[in-house]
């Protein structure tokens, strides 16, 4: 007998405890009958029309995403609006929706930890440790096994991450040697001034806006600081999905768990 949605939700919250979520976040069950059976779970970074349709077409009873669909308040879920359309398609298709967001960022096998592992970083620790457990927390910082140039690191990232229109943007000397790497999968400009980031040779994150990036670049020139590598938000977090799927398969034997390969990065092309 397949587990209920309530049981799958319980497992998800054990893997990615809600207590670890940021105060502004909205993870957890968004839609679905807790008593319904779940024999198939589909994972994606974003709850968009394409991933909702894909989950329903695959016969999944749960779409588990990283980014909460209802992170900010809405006043309508009419189907002529994006969020209403997504919810309607899922509900009609008998597919629930659950999000694991910042609560999945801080854990030992969370988004930043997975990226650090793929880069082969050693002596890895959180940038911002959790008050409950110093081994958990936001972002990661560690050492490359051997020094390499900033350009070589960027090329290595290009091989690890799925391709997007954005590609990888760099700020710093392409030929400068780097070894200590700080990173935050997803939007991480709030950590640019953190001592662990300032003490790194390079900081990898996403969604770097003009002013924070410009100020960090100039500060590095004057007083020292990291080079910057700006990568696709979706691509950096997509790496986590397979790790999450493996954890769910282990905790829920008999449940089919699949990972979406749809690119939900919002950019379709770039002109250089």
Last residue of a domain, one of 53, 80, 103: 103
User: Is 248 inside a domain boundary?
Assistant: no
Percent of the chain whose pLDDT exceeds 90: 96
User: Is 264 inside a domain boundary?
Assistant: no
Q: How far apart are CA 19 and CA 8, in angstroms?
A: 18
| Whether residues 127 and 99 fall in one domain | no
pLDDT in tens, 13-37: 999 999 999 999 999 999 999 999 9
- Look up the CATH number of the domain holding residue 96: 3.40.1390.30
Q: Per the structure block, which two tokens stand in for 110? A: 């969370």
pLDDT in tens, 237-258: 999 999 999 999 999 999 999 9
Residue 96 gets the label, from left (phi > 0), alpha (psi -120 to 50) or beta, of beta
- Show the beta-strand stretches assigned E in the chain: 28-31, 40-44, 62-65, 96-99, 122-125, 128-129, 137-138, 140-149, 169-171, 177-187, 202-206, 227-230, 256-259
| Whether residues 17 and 111 fall in one domain | no
Q: How far apart are CA 189 and CA 80, in angstroms?
A: 34
pLDDT value of residue 39:
98
Average pLDDT over residues 73-82: 92
pLDDT value of residue 6:
98
User: Is 14 inside a domain boundary?
Assistant: yes
| Whether residues 193 and 85 fall in one domain | no
Q: How far apart are CA 103 and CA 136, in angstroms?
A: 11
Q: Per the structure block, which two tokens stand in for 160? A: 């690890």
- pLDDT category of residue 117 using cuts at 50, 70 and 90: very high
Question: Among 54-58, 133-137, 194-198, 224-228, which is the least confidently predicted range?
Answer: 133-137
Average pLDDT over residues 60-86: 95
| Whether residues 147 and 220 fall in one domain | yes
User: Is 258 inside a domain boundary?
Assistant: no
DSSP string for residues in 85-113: HHHHHHHHTT-EEEE--HHHHSSTTSHHH
pLDDT value of residue 132:
84
Q: Is the dihedral of CA 62, 63, 67, 70 positive or negative?
A: negative
Q: Is the pTM of this model over 0.85?
A: yes
- pLDDT category of residue 90 using cuts at 50, 70 and 90: very high
pLDDT in tens, 34-71: 999 999 999 999 999 999 999 999 999 999 999 999 99
- pLDDT category of residue 1 using cuts at 50, 70 and 90: confident
| Whether residues 33 and 73 fall in one domain | yes
Q: 62: number of CA atoms within 13 Å, CB side?
A: 32
Of 201, 194, 261, 189, the residue nearest 231 (C-alpha): 189
DSSP string for residues in 152-197: HHHHHHHHHSPP-SS--EEES-TT-EEEEEEEEEEE-GGGTTSHHH
- pLDDT category of residue 73 using cuts at 50, 70 and 90: confident
pLDDT in tens, 92-103: 999 999 999 999
Residue 193 has pLDDT above 90, yes or no: yes
Long-range contacts of 121-128 (CB under 8 A, 24+ apart): 121/181, 127/182, 127/184, 127/191, 127/194, 127/196, 127/197, 128/191, 128/194
Please state, rounded to an integer, the average pLDDT across all residues of the chain.
Answer: 97
| Whether residues 37 and 52 fall in one domain | yes
Q: Domain of 75?
A: 5-103
User: Is 174 inside a domain boundary?
Assistant: yes
Last residue of a domain, one of 80, 103, 126: 103
| Whether residues 91 and 22 fall in one domain | yes
**Counted domains in the chain:** 2
pLDDT value of residue 248:
98
pLDDT in tens, 144-174: 999 999 999 999 999 999 999 999 999 999 9
What strands, in cross-sheet order, belong to the sheet with 62-65? 28-31, 96-99, 62-65, 40-44, 256-259
| Whether residues 94 and 114 fall in one domain | no
Last residue of a domain, one of 103, 118, 145: 103
| Whether residues 50 and 137 fall in one domain | no
| Whether residues 119 and 215 fall in one domain | yes
| Whether residues 118 and 79 fall in one domain | no
pLDDT value of residue 92:
97
Percent of the chain whose pLDDT exceeds 70: 100
| Whether residues 120 and 224 fall in one domain | yes
User: Is 51 inside a domain boundary?
Assistant: yes
């Amino acid at each position: 007998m397949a587990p209920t949605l309530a049981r799958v939700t319980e497992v998800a919250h054990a893997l990615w405890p809600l207590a670890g979520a940021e105060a502004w976040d909205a993870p957890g069950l968004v839609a679905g009958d807790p008593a319904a059976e779940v024999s198939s779970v589909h994972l994606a970074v974003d709850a968009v029309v394409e991933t909702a349709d894909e989950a329903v077409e695959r016969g999944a009873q749960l779409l588990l995403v990283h980014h909460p669909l209802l992170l900010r308040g809405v006043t309508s879920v009419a189907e002529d609006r994006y969020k209403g359309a997504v919810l309607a398609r899922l509900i009609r298709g008998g597919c629930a929706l659950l999000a694991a967001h910042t609560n999945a960022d801080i854990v030992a096998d969370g988004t930043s930890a997975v990226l650090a592992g793929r880069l082969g970083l050693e002596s890895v620790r959180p940038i911002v440790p959790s008050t409950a457990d110093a081994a958990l927390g936001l972002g990661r910082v560690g050492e490359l096994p051997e020094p390499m140039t900033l350009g070589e690191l960027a090329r290595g990232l290009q091989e690890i991450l799925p391709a997007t229109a954005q590609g990888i943007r760099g700020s710093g000397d392409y030929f400068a040697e780097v070894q200590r790497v700080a990173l935050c999968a997803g939007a991480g400009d709030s950590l640019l001034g953190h001592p662990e980031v300032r003490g790194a040779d390079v900081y990898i994150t996403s969604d770097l806006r003009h002013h924070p990036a410009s100020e960090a670049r100039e500060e590095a020139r004057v007083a020292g600081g990291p080079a910057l590598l700006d990568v696709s938000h979706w691509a950096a977090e997509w790496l986590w999905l397979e790790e999450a799927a493996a954890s769910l398969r282990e905790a829920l034997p008999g449940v089919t768990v699949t990972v979406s390969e749809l690119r939900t990065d919002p950019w379709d092309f770039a002109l250089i």
